Amino acid sequence: MQRLSGSAVFLLFGLLSLIITAAGVAAENAATRQRGLIGLKQFYQTPYYIFDSGRPGPRILIQAGIHGDEIAGIYALEQLLPRLRVHSGLLIIFPRMNPPAIAINRRFFNIDLNRVFPGVPVPDPYEFALAREIYNLVKDNRIEYTLTLHEARTLHNPLRYKSFGQTIVYGIEPPPRLLWSWLQALNKDLPIKEKFCHYYCPQEYGATDVMVRELRLKGGFAVETWRAFDLLRRIDLQQLAVLTFLKQVGLEFSLQ
């Protein structure tokens, strides 16, 4: 075998160190996940996870489990958490917003958490204090977009009031224009029965509408999967909704 000349060896080592440095920079640029807690030592204590890239970009909070029996979104976020790397902006993932309600597999424990926003710091019922903490988390992190993952018992029918299955819900008009490109990307490869449609349905004290209105977010939506589908399929659909949304708002991320 021909021996490498001194300058070739030098070039090879140079190239190798360049590759190693580039890999290191790429790793550094991917935000490390940090864990935070809401309701420390309270009945409703629950973790959230912050991916802060340290680079400019959209600031997003995605939450699931505001209603304790709507479980597909919870699993969808918990499965994405270890795989996600964020390369721009900031992303907060909040997989189990309402642990007492999740523990009993009911929509709520004392009172509907999605009807008490922006909450107040009172000890009882706990839902008011929890809502306040979530509201403050969104405010303190200067969140611009929020998604809340829900599930519905009825498939959407424009003639039927409060039929939420397979919809993207918003409550403040006009919705941001990205809703239309997001829906197009989300529905692109879905069969007709699984396609999502938009649904204007304001909820005066609901988490999404209160935060969009009072904290002047650029956008806030509820993702609603229809419970007639298998749980595994609903988890896939929730993940698809989340990932296509992140792309539409311009967050740079990768999945491991």
Using CB under 5 A, list all residues that contact Zn ion.
Answer: 67, 70, 150
Tell me the backbone φ, ψ of residue 132, rounded to 5 degrees: -65, -40
Between 70 and 127, whose beta carbon lies closer to Zn ion?
Answer: 70
**Residue whose CB is nearest to Zn ion in the complex, by number:** 150
* Residue of 176, 123, 127 lying closest to 147 (CA atoms): 176
Instruction: Tell the smallest beta-carbon distance from residue 91 to Zn ion (Å).
Output: 22
Instruction: Tell the smallest beta-carbon distance from residue 99 to Zn ion (Å).
Output: 16
Between 67 and 156, whose beta carbon lies closer to Zn ion?
Answer: 67
Q: Which tokens hold the place of 106?
A: 């009911």
Between 70 and 209, whose beta carbon lies closer to Zn ion?
Answer: 70
Instruction: Tell the smallest beta-carbon distance from residue 150 to Zn ion (Å).
Output: 3
- How many whole angstroms from its chain centre is CA 201? 20
Residue 40 neighbours by CB distance under 10 Å? 8
Between 152 and 251, whose beta carbon lies closer to Zn ion?
Answer: 152
Instruction: Tell the smallest beta-carbon distance from residue 238 to Zn ion (Å).
Output: 12
Between 58 and 73, whose beta carbon lies closer to Zn ion?
Answer: 73
Instruction: Tell the smallest beta-carbon distance from residue 134 to Zn ion (Å).
Output: 15
Instruction: Tell the smallest beta-carbon distance from residue 70 to Zn ion (Å).
Output: 5
**Any idea what DSSP says for residue 155?**
B
DSSP strand E in the chain: where?
33-38, 46-52, 59-64, 84-86, 90-94, 145-152, 167-170, 197-200, 219-226, 253-255
Between 114 and 248, whose beta carbon lies closer to Zn ion?
Answer: 114
For residue 92, the cross-strand partners are: 50, 61
What is the DSSP annotation of 102-149? HHTTSS-SSS-GGGSTT----SSSHHHHHHHHHHHHHHHTT--EEEEE
